[in-house]
Homo-oligomer: A and B are copies of this chain.
Amino acid sequence: MARTTGSHSDITGPRVRAAALSLFAQHGFAAVSMRQIAREVGVQAGALYNYTPDKQSLLFDLMQTHMSDLLSSRDKLPETASPLEALETFTRFHIRFHSERPEEVFIAYMELRNLEPENFEAIEKLRRTYEDQLENILRAGVSEGVFKVADPKLATMAVIAMLTGVNTWFREGGRLSLEEVEQIYWDMVRKSVGA
């Protein structure tokens, strides 16, 4: 049964994060104690501190991992891709990525208020990086004359809110498949930017 601390940590770390994610999403960050998280993982409360210094670090880790995954999972497009192709790729990626992570998305919105200022700034920076990618697509389309957008920054926020909203109602096995939803939303996004 002997394990190195390293391998033990490798196994327990993800379980701690999974437990924290699920408990934060269910009860809210402020209502969850380190003791509850330890109980969910099946370790002593004291043992939890081998994996994380405190609850704030756990929250920050969850949100930072979510935003980093978002940025690193974006489909790579050839340099020659048109703004319209780039927008379609962004739209479909955003819906798929977020619909697979309802708890992360819920926490990323709801628990911003509980991040300490330095952590909040780091998450906001990642969020702005992602938003900038969409804004750059829209600006490229405007300068090529294929999009009609009065304000690329507002259009960015509008499109992202529209797409993330899928999470509030989409259920696997419902009236429409995720592919059908993607297609219908892509049609609306395309039209909304005048393409």
Give the complex CA separation of A109 and B160 in angstroms: 17
Contact B158 A165 (CB under 8 A): yes
Give the complex CA separation of A113 and B161 in angstroms: 21
Q: Is the contact region of chain A dominated by helix, strand, or loop, or is it mixed?
A: helix
**Choice from B110, B158, B169, B192 contacting A157 with Cβ under 8 Å:** B169
Contact B113 A26 (CB under 8 A): yes
In this complex, how many residues of chain A approach chain B with their Cβ under 8 Å: the count is 36
Residues of B close to A181: CB separation below 8 A:
154
Residues of B close to A71: CB separation below 8 A:
none
Residues of B close to A148: CB separation below 8 A:
191
Q: Is A132 close to B, CB under 8 A? A: no
Most chain B CB within 10 A, of A26, A162, A185, A187, is at A162
Give the complex CA separation of A8 and B74 in angstroms: 58
**Choice from B151, B159, B161, B184 contacting A150 with Cβ under 8 Å:** B184
Interface of chain A residues 26 through 81 with chain B (CB within 8 A): 26-31
Residues of B close to A187: CB separation below 8 A:
150
A58 to chain B, nearest CB (A): 16
A179 to chain B, nearest CB (A): 13
Q: Is A143 close to B, CB under 8 A? A: no
Q: Is A89 close to B, CB under 8 A? A: no
A88 to chain B, nearest CB (A): 15
Question: What 10 A-B pairs have minimum CB-CB distances, sorted nearest first?
Answer: A161-B165, A28-B28, A30-B31, A192-B192, A162-B162, A31-B31, A188-B192, A27-B30, A158-B162, A150-B184
7 A-B pairs with CB atoms under 8 Å apart are A28-B29, A31-B31, A110-B110, A157-B165, A158-B188, A188-B193, A191-B193
Q: Measuring CB to CB, which residues of chain A are less than 8 angstroms from any residue of chain B? A: 26-31, 109-110, 113, 148, 150-151, 154-155, 157-162, 164-166, 168-169, 176, 181, 184-185, 187-189, 191-194
